Structure 1
């Protein structure tokens, strides 16, 4: 967040970067699902996601703040972020494999809902009736999409998808803490760097031969993920959270398109009904937090005067 304050806002640039990030990450999801249909397992997808992304991130740092910016006195915080990030990645990749892309993406929209709950439970933040109402509405949307007790989507897939959203919310809380002292490139680098060794150890037991097309898919997963991470961080550098985060919901467009073109799958009626409810809930939470943040800033400014 400090980076945003140190640079003038460039709203259109920030929006463009966020939309670019959404495209790359949605493409990464499609590549993961496509690779899984060719026999690539979850462990391989996770390892090569980080392995091939690391050079991209290093080049980004070298072209920007320089390698000297990677020095940190908070390696422990980065380690915890890496643990949470890897667990979240397992859930995210697992849900991509288990669910249609549109449904998996829709369940991912519950991150602001879980972030609100975690912020109240662990950070002592206060949430009024408005945000709790948005949380309740969001979960109603989830029930519509999942339809517990039906064969609409695999129950295990829904559980994995919601669990991954929970872990992404945990990561967002950790990043909020780390971001007070660490720049975004530093945080992205240490996550990539610290996650490769443990992922590599596990990969050793699950490695299998692949043809050229499968290796290209694995490389594409890592490169798309790396570019997606960079664009996400860049968007927050040039625009406030309240401006850029709503662009994340455009991922449903890409998920629907990829699902149709690559897997002949379109969202069900339940998803078309439930997704807008979840989106509206998430947007309201973002808007409410932005409004309260501005109010608190105005109060602090008035007190200083």
Structure 2
């Protein structure tokens, strides 16, 4: 395969992660104004309304049962993953929250063993230890800097739960990208997430003000574009090649956290993020498996 073809999925993934990181900043602003639930369900409803006509115009057809099952499974996982992530995001600095979410690829190794019957290698254990050390440094630096209040503790717990779901999402993501095009992936992800969250509307929904609508609309556009770019990339390269690229999100999160919210980036967060990234790089350098036995 030509080198430019090998590089293309990586470049597209970098762009997709940049869009997602920008979306996180808009969503944090919207969630602070109207709540994580309202911001999320409206983001996905707007995203569905925008991308579904494109999918149909490109000849989109109702998927086969096996493909629909994958769409539904990932959509439900993403719904709860995203809700707990944005719930945590309004209680934690942006860069700190993104850094903590980096443990997801490590958790994905163990979920692959549990769900797909893979053998956990020694590298995976070493990687997990680096990841746990990174989380301990981030949480420890937060405890050292200030007393851990109730909101921060709830935010940390929500982010941990979101990271587990994100790991499961990583296990499903390549499987989905191999059976559906980018427009179909974005259509069903937006639609299924919105429908999954809909039953909670009588309890949690609030109508946004004009400024929040602007942020939610921007987030919907960015999230849909990012989902399509990542679906394209994951259909053309193994997840173990692309997952490490996700750690560029920390740089964007640090920048946008400072620009949007004047959040300071502490040395503990940077050190912890580096340890987590080292762990994930160790995990990504595992001995390659035959394609039919790929973890993701």
Which bin holds the TM-score, normalised by the shorter protein? Answer: 0.7 to 0.9
State the 1:9 CA deviation. 6.9
2:55 aligns to what? Answer: 61
Q: Is 1:136–2:129 an aligned residue pair?
A: yes
1:164 paired with 2:162, answer: yes
> What's the offset of the Cα at 1:40?
1.1
Of 153-162 and 107-116, the range deviating more from structure 2: 153-162
Q: Summarize the alignment of residues 42-61 of structure 1 with structure 2, pairs less than 5 Å apart.
A: 42-61=36-55
- In the alignment, what sits opposite 1:72? 64
Q: What SS does structure 1 have at the residue aligned with 2:120?
A: coil
After superposition, the Cα gap between the structure-2 partners of 1:15 and 1:174, relative to the gap in structure 1 and judged at 3 Å, is closer
Alignment CA distance shift 1:72-1:193 (3 Å): farther
Q: 1:230 to 1:56 in 2, by over 3 A?
A: farther
Q: 1:244 to 1:201 in 2, by over 3 A?
A: same
Specify whether residues 193 and 145 from structure 1 end up closer, same or farther in structure 2 by C-alpha distance, changes over 3 A only.
Answer: same
Q: RMSD value over aligned CA atoms?
A: 2.8
Distance 1:156 1:188, change over 3 A: same
- TM-score, normalising length from structure 2? 0.86
The superposition leaves residues 204-261 of structure 1 with CA deviations (integer Å, 9 ceiling, x where unpaired) of: 4433343322211111121111111111112223444344332211111111111111
Contact 2:79 2:194 in 1 (8 A): no
Deviation, 1:157, is 1.6
Pair 1:272 & 2:265 matched: no
* Structure 1: tracts of 5 or more residues without a match: 299-305
Tell me if structure 1 keeps the 8 A contact 2:100–2:160.
Answer: yes
2: CA distance, partners of 1:178 / 1:17: 17
Tell me the residue number matched to 1:105: 98
- Among 281, 288, 292, the alignment partner of 1:292 is 288
The total of aligned residue pairs comes to 287
* Alpha-carbon distance between aligned partners in 1 of 2:137 and 2:122, rounded to the nearest angstrom: 23
Q: What is the TM-score normalised by the length of structure 1?
A: 0.84
Distance 1:8 1:196, change over 3 A: farther
**Correspondence for 2:24:** 29
Q: Give deviations 1:146-168, integer Å, cap 9, x for gaps.
A: 11855476222222112111001
Question: What is the aligned partner in structure 2 of residue 281 from structure 1?
Answer: 279
Following TM superposition, the consecutive aligned residue runs of length 4 or more in structure 1 with deviations greater than 6 angstroms are: none
Work out whether residues 177 and 232 of structure 2, in 8 Å CA contact, stay in contact via their aligned partners in 1.
no
Please give the alpha-carbon distance, in whole angstroms, between the structure 2 residues aligned to 1:9 and 1:58.
31
Distance in 2 (CA, whole Å) between partners of 1:8 and 1:237 is 17
* In structure 2, distance between residues paired with 1:32 and 1:152: 27
Secondary structure at 2:213 match in 1: helix
